[in-house]
């Protein structure tokens, strides 16, 4: 068979493969837009992104996703967005809100999950009172987990001054190993870094975040204002794909767990444990975000932490939150 005939056969096969996908999306190759999306390293909260990629939901919506990252922390991801290196990001509500308070023009366009964090301690600690004078790691000051650490200590007649706190000095993926080695006695973090210690037997859940603050906000989908203004179709498509992914997770937990294993490299036992603490959602409770902002401001005002957001930057938390939430693309 001649080379020209071989090439013709190959070209025909490629055409047969491409045409159905064009028919499904209703897009020609030139119509498909590329969107740069960021996410955090090994973060099971960002499972909807992995599911949307794996199940082809972005392609169904006529967009080509360029995954940027992973980032090892939310502030680094928000810095990349502020610099114009990202169009959309899966990130914690805390770094998104703090970036907006510092003047970064952005919009939160969907929720990703609620709850899904816990205070993990070594086996010798069986109550919150046992944490007195102990070393505790949390994400950076002002994070949801950092604030809830203060809340649970306060509920048990303790404060940050009664423990040795390591806020933001130990990265989330390193916390389980630091607990196992004895460098710290406890840590407050999101999944799957809770489940890693639980499954290994090096730690146990002292208190779940949902028992401190039921339905508390966690991760969100955020975009730059400039991208939102100039790319209405693309933003709508991303949100639609994200909604499909969240619904898929809720309806198909077993397959979603397998996708989580593939994209995080974690074992099935860790994924199973983590799933019991995470609620995947797309909606956002504005009042919870207002509560969070006021909590950060009050911690700075009473001297518990170095001021992160001030009343000068955010005179009215309600107005501030309502100004950065844009859920018009969510299907009702």
Tens of pLDDT, residues 108-158: 999 999 999 999 999 999 999 999 999 999 998 889 999 999 999 999 999
Domain ranges of the chain: 3-115+216-285+312-324, 117-212
Average pLDDT, the chain: 89
Q: In terms of pLDDT, which residue wins out, 191 or 33? A: 191
Least confident of 29-33, 94-98, 109-113, 232-236: 29-33
pLDDT at residue number 19:
34
d(CA 45, CA 74): 13
Alpha carbon 185 to its chain's center:
25
24-41 in b/e form (b: 16+ CB < 10 A) is ebebeeeebbebbbbbbe
DSSP state of 32: P
Q: How far is residue 78's CA from residue 106's CA, in Å, rounded to a whole number? A: 10
| Percent of the chain topping pLDDT 90 | 81
Q: The whole model's pTM is what? A: 0.86
Q: Tell me the mean pLDDT in the region 86-95.
A: 96
Picking from 7-21, 63-77, 172-186, 249-263, which range would have the lowest pLDDT averaged per residue? Answer: 7-21
User: What pLDDT was estimated at residue 31?
Assistant: 60
* 7-55 pLDDT tens trace: 333 333 333 333 333 333 444 444 667 999 999 988 899 999 999 999 9
Give the pLDDT score at 42: 84
**The tokens 């303790």 sit on which residue?**
158
Model pLDDT, residue 332: 57
Which pair of structure tokens corresponds to residue 6? Answer: 């071989």
Instruction: Strand 88-92: give its sheet, edge to edge.
Output: 63-71, 33-40, 88-92, 219-224, 106-111
Whether 81 has a pLDDT exceeding 70, the answer reads yes
What does the pLDDT read at residue 14? 33
C-beta separation of 257 from 145 below 8 A: no
Second CATH level (architecture) for the domain 3-115+216-285+312-324: 3-Layer(aba) Sandwich (3.40)
Q: Considering the domain 117-212 in this protein, what is its CATH number?
A: 3.40.190.10
Dump pLDDT digits (tens) for 255-311. 999 999 999 999 999 999 999 999 999 999 999 999 999 988 988 888 777 888 999
Q: Look at residue 2 in the predicted model and tell me its pLDDT.
A: 42
Same fold, 3-115+216-285+312-324 and 117-212: yes
pLDDT of residue 41: 87
């Amino acid at each position: 068979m001649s080379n020209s005939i071989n090439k013709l056969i190959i070209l025909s096969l490629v055409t047969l493969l491409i045409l159905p996908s064009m028919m499904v999306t209703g897009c020609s190759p030139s119509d498909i837009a590329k969107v740069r999306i960021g996410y955090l390293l090994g973060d099971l909260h960002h499972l909807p992104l992995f599911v949307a990629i794996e199940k082809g939901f972005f392609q169904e919506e006529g967009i080509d996703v360029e995954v940027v990252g992973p980032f090892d922390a939310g502030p680094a991801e928000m810095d990349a967005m502020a610099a114009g290196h990202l169009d959309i990001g899966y990130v914690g509500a805390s770094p998104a809100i703090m970036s907006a308070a510092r003047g970064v023009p952005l919009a939160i366009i969907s929720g990703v999950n609620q709850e899904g964090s816990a205070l993990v301690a070594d086996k010798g600690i069986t109550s919150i009172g046992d944490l007195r004078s102990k070393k505790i790691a949390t994400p950076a000051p002002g994070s949801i987990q950092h604030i809830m650490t203060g809340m649970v200590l306060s509920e048990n007649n303790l404060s940050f001054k009664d423990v040795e706190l390591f806020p933001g000095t130990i990265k989330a993926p390193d916390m389980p190993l630091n607990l196992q080695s004895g460098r710290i006695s406890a840590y407050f973090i999101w999944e799957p870094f809770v489940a890693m210690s639980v499954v290994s037997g090096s730690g146990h859940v002292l208190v779940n975040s949902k028992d401190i603050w039921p339905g508390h906000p966690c991760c969100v989908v955020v975009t730059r204002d400039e991208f939102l203004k100039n790319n209405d179709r693309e933003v709508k498509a991303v949100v639609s794909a994200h909604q499909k992914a969240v619904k898929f997770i809720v309806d198909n937990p077993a397959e979603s767990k397998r996708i989580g294993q593939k994209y995080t490299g974690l074992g099935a036992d860790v994924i199973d444990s983590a799933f019991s603490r995470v609620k995947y959602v797309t909606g956002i409770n504005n009042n919870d975000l207002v509560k969070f902002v006021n909590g950060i401001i009050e911690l700075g005002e009473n001297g518990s932490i170095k001021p992160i957001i001030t009343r000068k930057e955010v005179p009215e938390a309600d107005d501030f939150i309502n100004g950065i939430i844009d859920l018009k693309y969510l299907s009702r």
